[in-house]
Structure 1
Amino acid sequence: MKNFYRRAMLIIMFLLAMGFLVFLAMIQAKAATPKFYKSAFQQEVTGQVTGPTGEPLLGVTVLVKNKQYGTTTNKEGIYKLQAAASDTLVFSSIGFKKLEVPLQGRTSVDVQLQEDIASLGEVEINAGYYNTTKRESTGSISRVTAEEIENQPVVSPLQALQGRMPGVEVTSGGFQPGAASTIRIRGINSLREEGNYPLYIIDGVPFNSTPVETNSSLSYVGIDPLNNLDINNIQSIEILKDADATAIYGSRGANGVVLITTKKGTLGTGLQAKVYYGAATVPGRLDLLNTPEYIQVRQRAFENDSIQPTASNAPDLILWDQENYTDWQDFLYGSTAETSNTSLSFTGGDERTSFRFGGSYFTQGSIYPADYDYKKITGNIHMNHSSSENKFQLGVTLNYGVDSNDLVGSLGYDNSTLFLPPNAPEVFNEDGSLNWEDWGAAGLKNPLEGNFNTNNKETKNLISNVSLSYEVFPGLELKSSLGYTIYTSDELRKQPKRSYNPADAITHKSFHLRSDRKSWIIEPQINYENSFNKFHLKTLLGATFQENTSFHESFLAEGYASEALIGNIGAAEKITNGNRSNTEYHYDAVFSRVGVDWDQKYFLNLTGRRDGSSRFGPNNRFANFGAVGAAWIFGDEGFMQKTFPFLSFGKLRGSYGSTGNDQIGDYGYLDAYEATRGPGGLYPSGLANPNYSWEVNKKLEFALEMGFWNERVSFSLSRYKNRSSNQLVGYPLPYLTGFTSVQANLPATVENTGWELSLHAIPMEQQKFRWETSLNLSFPKNKLVSYPGIEESSYANTYRVGEPLNIELLYEYTGLDPQTGFYTVRDVNDDGRYDYKDRIVIKDRNRQFYGGIINNFRLGGFSFNFLWEFVKQEGIIPKFSYGNRGNALGYALSALKEEGPFQRISQTYASQQAHTYAYNSTFPYRNSSYWRLKTLTLAYNFPQNFTSKIGMKNCSLFLHGQNLWTITSYEGMDAENPYSVGIGNLRSVTAGIEVNF
């Protein structure tokens, strides 16, 4: 109760303070007399600012020389301001040469800016609580912009990051839209899977990134909560990696921070529309046997085993048509998924108020032989307002998205269907019902049992933020950010009787699943900035008050009288398996930053944060985190400029600090009880441990950044070492305790080290032609540094000290048995059994290195760019068993000829056991590295003199390809996931048009 009153008083004090700031702003605005804006001697001046090839430039600063006012251009490059006839306008923008233009009485002035390569490093980047530049940053921050991701036909923005950033590893969750991708920023830090999620900040508001639970075919990866964001509305995505960049987020920054910034309003009015349409298909197929090959392999198995085929043990040889052939891959994944997207945005405003309204509609069809689809509707609002003298600033951001996903419904469409015998009977009757007769005659179930089940997942997501600031006096600013998010998920799975064999007497059923996530956050701040000769000071002091609540409910309803009533709970005979839970999470923090520099060459950044989390007991609820970052721009030293005149930029930087992790369940430090089935009873369901505390991640980094020939060539080389200790896990307990686990800190330390390289070059730059290329390359290493007593723990057969976390303990493969022809593995202790004592080979399943190569070409109005993603890794060859009923890969043909390393064809238990041992040995591991043409875009921008004649400010056509070509020796469906038979990303081609009015 004390915490409640303390929190309430803090919120009341904060609201009173902000109300006072608003009152001051109103007085300030009323007292302001900006008569210099519109004197009798001034006139309105308008015009457009374009780049070297005529494209409109957004955000160009237009000032009246020697005066204290100006404006910026909107997305169409249009500006508007008041100026005297004798004034001079100054046009400036990062990456372009400054231009001064005397008005000489003109009221319309169009200008074209030329690129200034030497200033490209000054692009402003978002560091979370403050902004910095690439030149002045002491931390490790990677960035992608709207131009790089907005035309990609993906659902989640994470999918658009693959191959674009060093140290950022994104793995697809599968081909079905909505599947949660996995992102790892500089490796795995926690022994818990759920302890490795990064922190997401969307327009200043923290967002729960944990995949959403589902009963669908995506249950193994979950639903990505970022699906509801509009890709076209994202301005930039920054990834914070090292201690200097993440320590200010304290306990939430251990696994890195993902900052997503949406687009803002601009001056002037403008309407933008973008439409694209395309199709997606499965990019690869398995090399499966056709009917004659399959029958030959099956017959050889019976011959080798000296067994006579019968209708019960070989229906595929006795009962089924020996000449029938069905390509089950084509049946299951052979359709084309149509993809479309329509987005519309309207921007407007003046020097004081600007706004942006936008919305989009995205759809993707199914590659399945069924009428499934995914739909997403989004809307967004962004408004900015400032007082007449820019002392008071107000910003409002709203992002709302709704999606509906029924692509994950049927239980029948899974990978087992791929390996049905090629001469198997039809799965459907002529009337469309499931064929139970032919499969039942063979003593089998129809493989598409559950085909008529449907599963619809609907989610809604609102992310809102209000930011306020007031400049008390030059250099001192009071500000605050208030955020609110709500994410709801409703899922209904219908299971009609016609999906199952009538002989099983199954009733109509429905599974219901609902979850809600709500959060609010208030972050007041004080910022101070001042310069004293060559000394520059920036300080920040702030606090965080955050609360998250979550609700979960699930149950099963059955016994509906008809299929039409499925889902109507009132029509069900009974409801069972009910489960409901509510959790609440409170988080408070105080944070600060002090940044200083001398002569803009020597930089020092100090950050600190004290966090309090309700997920820990009262004695361990608070913890301190902090970091120090420093940089030296040695390229500006006089001796360097004289000795190396070709060196345009050079910086050494380093950082060290600590961040934390509280990504565990709520209330784990308390005893937990659940109600018994009978009335009035309780039984313990959770064991208390009030003593566990924070995981701590200590990060160290050194980096070198250099640019040559006015930034025509630049590179960055980083070396990092992160150590995560005091690991939080659910420690397994013996069965006799009555509990499966207890939350605890393990004395284990995980280390991630690596090298990261970024290279950027402009090999050719002419008036109408430009070629820009970049490379990013990462060499990560992961290791369990220490774990005292691991041999006696339950993790003895999971981890090894000195090895990565993502390992597999394997048998040593010893070749084929000369007598049986079966696979053999080594029995290390010669006890006649094969267990973990015999698994002496440690296989690292991590990627050895990964990266991407990006090229951008521009010739007149044409632009062409592509991204190659590459990965060096090992994987398992897919399904190398054969002889039993079920199709096999081409390995079986080698065994048929008694060639190669594969065992003799057989269907006996001994052969299956030998295959199981071999599968868990070094035998199936092969090189699964790949090069993938991840994206390719060709676009044409129509000339301004043409578009102006037809009433447009800008018009462009584009053709985009995704996952077009993969070069690999891997024999499975998807080299990106070489430990499964599943499909990865789809290959897609889209074409579209973008117009601006």
Structure 2
Amino acid sequence: MKKFTFAALAVPLMWVLLLLLFFNSNKLHAQQTTVLSGVVKSADGTPMEGVTVWQKDTDNGTQTSETGYYTLQVSNSLPVTFEYLGYKTQTVKPAGPVLNVTLQTDDDLLDEVVINAGYYSVKDKERTGSISKITAKEIGQQPVANPLAAMQGRMAGVNITQSSGTPGGGFDIQIRGRNSLRTEGNAPLYIVDGVPYLSESTSHSYLSAGSLKSTENNPLQLINPNNIESIEVLKDADATAIYGSRGANGVVLITTKKGVEQATVFTLQSHTAIGVVPKFMKMLETADYLELRKRAYANDGITEYPAAAHDVNGNWDPERYTDWQKELIGGKAVTQQVSANVRGGSKNSQFMIMGSIAKDGTVFPGEYGNKRNNLLAQFAHTTPGEKWKIQTQFVRGESNNSLLGTDLTRDALTLAPNAPSLYDDEGNLNWEKSTWDNPLRWINETYRSKSTQWLTAWNIDGSITKGLVFKLQAGYNEMVGEEQRLSPHTIHDPSWGLTSTYSNSMRNSSSGNNWNIEPQLHFDKTWKKHKISVLAGSTFLKHEKKQYVWRASDFSSNSQITNLAAAKTLQIVSSLNNKYAYQALFSRLNYQYNDKYIVNLTARRDGSSRFGPNRRWANFGAVAGAWLFSREKLFEESSWLSFGKLRASYGSAGNDRIGDYQYMDTYGYSGGIYEVGGLRPLRLYNPDFSWETNIKKEVALEFALFRNRFNASAAYYQNKSSDQLVGIPLPGTTGFNSIQANLPATVRNSGWEFEMNAKLLTTTNWNWSVFGNISFNENKLIDFPGLKESTYKYTYAVNYPTSMKYAYEFTGVDEETGMYTFKDFNGDGKITANEDMQLIVQTAPKYFAGFGQDISYKNWSLSVLFQAVKQTAPNYQMGWGMPGMMINQPQGYDQSPIQKPSTGVDAQAFQNYNLYMQSQAAYSDASFIRLKNIVLNYSLPAFKASGLKGNIYISGQNVLTITKYRGLDPESQSNVSVPPLKVWSLGATFSY
């Protein structure tokens, strides 16, 4: 039974708040004050935050909240003005205590919408680079713990995959495909409030692999999505080259929420979510399973069932049936979150403090889950005359994850349906006379991890002279992780007679930190039809990482299993202490003529301690241009074209994600044979080891029609990544397998991206808009000198994607033998990996898309987002057991030609089945359309004079999936871990 814990406090807290506000409301009425309230929305029904609401010629004013709500004490004799950058100002004289307003976009002022490009900001219509953006509107009200989950399906060119539905599970993000041959070399750069974010996991696979499918790719897990104001993703050379060696795979810019110029507002938010496995596989029931098993024994010529065949020899009840998916992964994962913030400020000083606590449950039996705590604090001050401005942010996240030591999904899918009950009559784990390994034995093995990360950022802006501004960005980011895996002897059958001497534990202690300082000069000047903007700056960054992993065993008692000193055997599994230093100079020159023609030049010179002394420094840069053709005289009076722009870019970015000390002579401890240790060489020195380089090209068209009611863009890009950072094989006579060097291989990613949004209906009460994006990316290895002679010849092929897989070509079932058959490419009568694994299976997505709609009626709004992916992927048969063995099978396993069932004693049948799992038959269409997110929101009517505002919402995540995939989930594509969950959430927000 899942327990509702701390988050239940949110309900009484909200009622206390309501009562307080009620009495406060009566007090205000007694004073006979007039308070105006209402909601401000855009034409598409989106609540608008930060709209200035004021009465002219007075100091009486406020700003709208996140839900578009405002309250203002007004004088009945004066009209009220609503102002927001990019929208037409409205001035209305109130006719009552409630005034709701819909602001219309201003075609001329829309140019002022600003996009964060990292070191500088740019007007959206005047940007020359490819930048995608989502805001708190899209991120909020989604029942997700990781901001990457909120980004799925919302950005063209950004493909995000969730690998597990277990709290703390990993995500994979690809921005315009995979550029590097190394998996770890494809991660983007993350910047939070101007500070490079430590996105590398502190986990170690020795401890976490059983509980989590992947922890290596789990960036941003310690950032609360509710803390984020916006996320911008930089994609092309113009946008990323200014980040030099760190921008090859794109840049993810995260801006946290800030204080605003308004009266102090208190906000309380709470939601409770329930998640379940979206779909179970239909497995064989007992009668069909036992018939399959008996047929397999008959095929093997075995008439007397072995003693170990408990499912068919009578030891287990042949009438018993258990739906193991329901038993082991059929629970309800309860997520509860409460957050509170205070926000406000004056013209010269603004602040925001926000804290939240949450717990994410699991679908496994028992009380497991991840407890999260987050804190955000921000303060900004501007000196009189606005000459200097200082702004500081503090972001802290803490995760305390407690899970089973092993994910139960594999057992849930493969256990025999007539296997014994989990507990005996006395409520103890049932071992059924030592006839099986009870899957709940894993509740005695635990995995715990505690991670803490905090970041502080400082931004100082000062005006030196007219047009010349000095900026200083500085920050510090630190992460500390403690991880423990406890494996007591009680995970084994008691009849074995094991004691705590067979118990063991593993512990991982890791930490990382980096600091950066970036002084900058910005110069802007406008004369006649000319505008020029110049940026020059430098970067100083240092990073340090430490990690120690121990394995302890042979304890006198399990009560001491967490104490390393109590173990008779203690082994250091891994130990590292790495340091990384980085310096750079960067610059930007932007020139505009007549507000129509734009040229943007960026350059960066980088130095990294990860490379050899001969090639430690490298230069990167880009040139881009844009033509705002809608501002030509030909279109000035156009009734249908609101905006039009052509832009193009060309440039280079780099990649130094190779780890530290790779170019150096390194040595490792050779062990302690006869209590004598020594050093052995691990790596050869290479002074020319240097950067991966990514040459990027792009051309794009952006336009808006019919007074911005329809907006669309189309972009074509091509990225070529060369000088791949991998190991080059060496002859065995050298004593080394390889040397770390720049492989002269080239990977190309090219494709199209399309985005659109349209306002279909705009009336006083109704607003309806639709949006969508679709991306086509082609990944291809276009050059690899000497591939056929290298050890990579069985991994890659020229003119194919780098994610390709070599497979045997399955040709059917031999009618005489009943065995699987495969194409013998070299005709030698044998099927071998080196000669006959020639068929190429392409698993890279052909396209991915997101599309949806926002519709509102008065105080009601409904948002819907669909995600679609076209791809081929491994199906359930990859790694599954052979039909006929003591492993359950999905219903319909025999719909396609299958080999005769066998219990595994037939060596030829067993070998052929292993070949089958490595053939194209183990891959299938994994395309899907998923209702990714749906939110129904109701904005509460204004509470007169109290200042109370709020909204209630219902949100769903991964609600419905349409797919033909032969497996548990087409996104995670795993039979050993829980897939991303279907989650329904009920939440409310109140502000005062």
Identify which of 484, 490, 494 aligns with 1:492.
484
Aligned to 1:96: 87
Aligned to 2:723: 726
In the TM superposition, residue 52 of structure 1 has moved relative to its aligned partner by 4.6
CA distance in 2, matches of 1:66, 1:534: 35
Aligned to 2:805: 808
Corresponding residue SS for 2:921:
coil
1:649–1:707 contact (8 Å) kept in structure 2: yes
1:75–1:266 contact (8 Å) kept in structure 2: no
Alignment of 1:556 onto 2:551: yes
Alignment of 1:181 onto 2:175: no
In the TM superposition, residue 923 of structure 1 has moved relative to its aligned partner by 2.5
In the TM superposition, residue 208 of structure 1 has moved relative to its aligned partner by 2.4
Distance change >3 Å, CA 111–CA 738, structure 1 → 2: same
After superposition, the C-alpha distances for 1:230-289 in whole angstroms (9 at most, x for unaligned) are 111100110000000000000000000000110000122001111111211000111110
In the TM superposition, residue 674 of structure 1 has moved relative to its aligned partner by 2.9
CA distance in 2, matches of 1:81, 1:333: 52
2:950–2:991 contact (8 Å) kept in structure 1: yes
Alignment of 1:634 onto 2:629: yes
CA distance in 2, matches of 1:862, 1:917: 57
Corresponding residue SS for 1:254:
coil
Identify which of 662, 670, 674 aligns with 2:664.
670
Aligned to 1:10: none
Aligned to 1:858: 856
1:92–1:99 contact (8 Å) kept in structure 2: yes
Aligned to 1:939: 937
After superposition, the C-alpha distances for 1:193-212 in whole angstroms (9 at most, x for unaligned) are 11000000001100122233
CA distance in 1, matches of 2:613, 2:523: 35
CA distance in 1, matches of 2:869, 2:933: 16
Aligned to 1:222: 215
In the TM superposition, residue 91 of structure 1 has moved relative to its aligned partner by 4.8
Scaled by the length of structure 2, what TM-score is found? 0.90
CA distance in 1, matches of 2:767, 2:98: 27
Identify which of 369, 374, 383 aligns with 2:379.
383
CA distance in 2, matches of 1:335, 1:934: 21
Corresponding residue SS for 1:805:
coil
- Structure 1: which amino acid aligns with 2:105? D
Distance change >3 Å, CA 197–CA 918, structure 1 → 2: same
Aligned to 2:338: 342
2:321–2:417 contact (8 Å) kept in structure 1: yes
Aligned-residue sequence identity (percent) comes to 38
Corresponding residue SS for 1:761:
strand
1:287–1:889 contact (8 Å) kept in structure 2: yes
After superposition, the C-alpha distances for 1:269-319 in whole angstroms (9 at most, x for unaligned) are 001111111211000111110000101111111222322132335321112
Alignment of 1:359 onto 2:352: no
Corresponding residue SS for 2:479:
strand
After superposition, the C-alpha distances for 1:92-144 in whole angstroms (9 at most, x for unaligned) are 323421246899xxxx9989452226355643211101111221110000011
Identify which of 902, 914, 917 aligns with 1:916.
914
After superposition, the C-alpha distances for 1:646-700 in whole angstroms (9 at most, x for unaligned) are 0111110000000000001111121112344346743323322221111000000
Distance change >3 Å, CA 641–CA 793, structure 1 → 2: same
- Structure 2: which amino acid aligns with 1:233? N
Identify which of 598, 602, 616 aligns with 2:611.
616
Distance change >3 Å, CA 75–CA 962, structure 1 → 2: closer
1:420–1:887 contact (8 Å) kept in structure 2: yes
Distance change >3 Å, CA 791–CA 109, structure 1 → 2: same
Question: CA-atom RMSD, angstroms?
Answer: 2.9
Distance change >3 Å, CA 46–CA 79, structure 1 → 2: farther
CA distance in 2, matches of 1:60, 1:474: 30
After superposition, the C-alpha distances for 1:875-933 in whole angstroms (9 at most, x for unaligned) are 33323731111111123454xxxxx4222223322222222222222223332211100
After superposition, the C-alpha distances for 1:208-234 in whole angstroms (9 at most, x for unaligned) are 222332312256411624111111110
Which of structures 1 and 2 has the larger relative contact order (alpha carbons within 8 angstroms, sep 6+)?
2
Alignment of 1:116 onto 2:105: yes
Scaled by the length of structure 1, what TM-score is found? 0.89
In the TM superposition, residue 581 of structure 1 has moved relative to its aligned partner by 1.4
Alignment of 1:457 onto 2:449: yes
In the TM superposition, residue 565 of structure 1 has moved relative to its aligned partner by 2.0
Identify which of 130, 133, 137 aligns with 1:143.
133
**Structure 1: tracts of 5 or more residues without a match:** 1-44, 895-899
2:145–2:221 contact (8 Å) kept in structure 1: yes
Aligned to 1:172: 162
1:128–1:259 contact (8 Å) kept in structure 2: yes
Identify which of 598, 602, 612 aligns with 1:603.
598
CA distance in 2, matches of 1:84, 1:605: 50
CA distance in 2, matches of 1:366, 1:923: 33
- The 10-residue stretch of structure 1 (310-319 or 293-302) with the greater mean CA deviation from structure 2: 310-319
CA distance in 2, matches of 1:115, 1:173: 42
Distance change >3 Å, CA 734–CA 952, structure 1 → 2: farther
Identify which of 697, 700, 705 aligns with 1:708.
705
Query: Pairwise mapping of residues 924-963 of structure 1 onto structure 2 (< 5 A)?
Result: 924-944=922-942, 947-949=943-945, 951-963=946-958
Alignment of 1:841 onto 2:834: no
In the TM superposition, residue 498 of structure 1 has moved relative to its aligned partner by 1.4
Alignment of 1:51 onto 2:40: yes
Aligned to 2:25: none
2:355–2:375 contact (8 Å) kept in structure 1: yes
CA distance in 2, matches of 1:225, 1:664: 17
In the TM superposition, residue 735 of structure 1 has moved relative to its aligned partner by 5.2
1:864–1:936 contact (8 Å) kept in structure 2: yes
CA distance in 2, matches of 1:780, 1:722: 11
- Structure 2: which amino acid aligns with 1:657? G
Corresponding residue SS for 1:210:
coil
Distance change >3 Å, CA 210–CA 995, structure 1 → 2: same
In the TM superposition, residue 872 of structure 1 has moved relative to its aligned partner by 1.1
Aligned to 1:786: 783
Corresponding residue SS for 2:367:
coil
In the TM superposition, residue 537 of structure 1 has moved relative to its aligned partner by 1.0
Aligned pair count?
937
Distance change >3 Å, CA 682–CA 840, structure 1 → 2: closer
Alignment of 1:243 onto 2:237: yes
Alignment of 1:261 onto 2:255: yes
Distance change >3 Å, CA 73–CA 957, structure 1 → 2: closer
In the TM superposition, residue 734 of structure 1 has moved relative to its aligned partner by 5.0
CA distance in 1, matches of 2:440, 2:488: 14
Distance change >3 Å, CA 901–CA 210, structure 1 → 2: same
1:607–1:626 contact (8 Å) kept in structure 2: yes
Aligned to 2:752: 755
Identify which of 874, 896, 906 aligns with 2:872.
874
CA distance in 1, matches of 2:874, 2:406: 26
After superposition, the C-alpha distances for 1:937-994 in whole angstroms (9 at most, x for unaligned) are 10100223xx235x24321110001111101111311011346564321001110111
Aligned to 2:4: none
Distance change >3 Å, CA 337–CA 73, structure 1 → 2: closer
CA distance in 1, matches of 2:734, 2:84: 67
Identify which of 633, 646, 652 aligns with 2:646.
652
Corresponding residue SS for 1:184:
strand
- The 10-residue stretch of structure 1 (424-433 or 592-601) with the greater mean CA deviation from structure 2: 424-433
Corresponding residue SS for 2:620:
strand
Distance change >3 Å, CA 599–CA 48, structure 1 → 2: farther
Alignment of 1:537 onto 2:532: yes
- Structure 2: which amino acid aligns with 1:820? T
Corresponding residue SS for 1:298:
helix
Identify which of 966, 982, 992 aligns with 2:987.
992
- Structure 2: which amino acid aligns with 1:925? Y
Aligned to 2:291: 296
CA distance in 1, matches of 2:70, 2:446: 53
Aligned to 1:26: none
- Structure 1: which amino acid aligns with 2:619? N
CA distance in 2, matches of 1:62, 1:595: 35
